[in-house]
Structure 1
Amino acid sequence: MSEITKQQVSDFLTENPDFLLQNPDLLAQLELQQHAQGATSLVHIQQRQLREHNTKLKAQIEQLIEQATENESIYRLFSQCHRQLWTNYDFKTLAANLRNIICTSPAISECHLVRYETKYDALIEHRLEETGTYLGRVSQQERDLLFAEQTQSTALYLIGNNQHPVAILAFGSLDANHFEPAKDSFFVLEFVRSLQLRLLELQLELA
């Protein structure tokens, strides 16, 4: 195969002016010289790509910092809640103290720890039957069971299981997007597991 000449490359690019735009990976690898008279159009394209890339990186870094800050806040909040599990010896006091702690978060307007009652059966069946956890919006009828009218998004956690429910831990937010399915719930779920053990222990102590 004969060697491709500069003229052939030039002719090809002239006939296919969008070739480099359609192959950005190739364009990014090119080392273009900037003449004293000014930059070539390809240099401008590379500069634009670099600016766009830097903008995306900056946005990703800001998002990571924001997420890390939120995670630290959640960790501190539920560390306080964990301590309450072993300093309260009745359900009512524990529920009140958890509410006081959780509601210090600006994003959470309500926190309820309620004992299981049959009036919650439909809510459990509809929202908590599969995983015992639900984050998102609820119907007006479901909201009226636990939350104020202005609550926009909720987080529900079943204590116990479908066959033997013990309680429901519920958080409410005025922000419609605060509680949504993709939200990281690691610290909350760890607390829910500990809460379940503690409530079962309290039941045995009262038996």
Structure 2
Amino acid sequence: MSKEMNSDTSSVESLQTEEIALSDDIVVSFLQDNPEFFNRHPELVTSLRVQDFQRGTVSLVERQQQLLRTKVHNLEEEITHLMSVANQNEQLFVLYSDLYLRLLDCKDSTELLDCLTQATTELLSLSGLKLWLAQPADIAHSSICNENCQDIFDNRLAQETYYFGRLQQSEQQQIFSESVLGSVVLIKLSDQHGTIGFLAISSQDADHFDPRMDTLLISQFTRLVSKLLRQHIASK
């Protein structure tokens, strides 16, 4: 009997120990369910001390103030970044609008490629531009890629309109006839009549052409260049 009683007592003590054991989740849940807790114990707000990595031990009020200051600082940085992005987008919109008018005034494919090359290297400060045509055309221009890039097209653009990022060295040599240290964008040119080819634009900045970048402006650019290039090729 004594052994059974001792066993029962141990079980009860074990259960009591488990019942009073607190965890972070229990404390958090209690405070969330009882927001008036600190109203009932206002002295805890200033008497409780928490560890701060920069200032050592501080009160809950000081800790809350620090968190609020950090949050405000982060919001200010985010707003500054958004304003910077908005300003850059506005400048790009104006630049593209001017470029569209210049492209529409081009009399032939050579003038069109002159305009695109100038816009790429001078206005956008990018490294270079190349045009690969799926079907040979009577166009003499330094931007024309004379290599057979059908394998690159099939690999990079068969299912996509754009490719942003890095190219293999063999692909770089095929398109640009040299190694490209930064990033590139490949732009599929096509219309209702089929595939025309692709534009390849390079940047010395390895992060300039990123798969996450917005394609709104470049999609309008793509449609216009495809239409104009098809018209000029057909008029040859």
8 Å Cα contact 2:109/2:233 also seen in 1: no
Q: What TM-score comes out, normalization by structure 2 length?
A: 0.66
Partner in structure 2 of residue 136 of structure 1: 165
Matched, 1:56 2:85: no
Are positions 1:153 and 2:183 aligned together?
Answer: yes
* Aligned equivalent of 2:95: 77
Q: Which of 144, 147, 153 matches 1:124?
A: 153
2:199 alignment counterpart: 169
Identity of aligned residues (%): 24
Structure 1 stretches of 4+ with a deviation exceeding 4 A read 15-20, 30-35
Number of residue pairs aligned between Structure 1 and Structure 2: 184
Shift of 1:183: 0.7
* SS of residue matched to 1:202: helix
Bigger Rg, which one: 2
Task: Answer yes or no: is the 8 Å Cα contact 1:107–1:174 preserved in 2.
Answer: no
- Could you report, residue by residue, the CA deviation over 1:46-93 in whole angstroms, capped at 9, with x for unpaired residues? 111111211221221122122112212321222232112221122122
Residue in 2 that maps onto 1:5: none
Q: Within 5 Å, give how 1:190-201 maps onto structure 2.
A: 190-201=220-231
Query: Within 2, Cα distance between the matches of 1:90 and 1:145?
Result: 26
Contact kept in structure 2, 1:103 and 1:110, CA below 8 Å: yes
Q: How far has the Cα of 1:151 moved from its partner?
A: 3.5
Q: Is the 8 A contact 1:111 1:169 kept in 2?
A: yes
Compared with structure 1, are the counterparts of its residues 44 and 107 closer, same or farther at alpha carbon in structure 2 (3 Å cutoff)? farther
Deviations, residues 15-67 of structure 1 (Å, cap 9, x unaligned): 889946x979x99xx898998xxxx7111121111112112212211221221
| Counterpart AA for 2:174 | L
Q: Distance in 2 between matches of 1:107 and 1:23?
A: 57
Question: CA 1:78/1:113 → structure 2, altered by over 3 Å: closer, same or farther?
Answer: farther
Residue in structure 2 matched with residue 67 of structure 1 by the alignment? 85
Give the CA RMSD over aligned residues: 3.1
Alignment CA distance shift 1:72-1:142 (3 Å): same
TM-score for the superposition, normalised by structure 1: 0.75
Residue in structure 2 matched with residue 102 of structure 1 by the alignment: 120
Instruction: Measure, in 2, the Cα distance between the counterparts of 1:152 and 1:192.
Output: 22
Give the structure, 1 or 2, with the largest relative contact order (CA under 8 Å, sep 6 or more).
1
**Counterpart position of 1:47:** 65
Opposite residue 46 of structure 1, the aligned amino acid is Q
CA distance in 2: counterparts of 1:107 and 1:84, whole angstroms? 18
Unaligned runs of 5+ in 2: 1-21, 47-57, 136-146
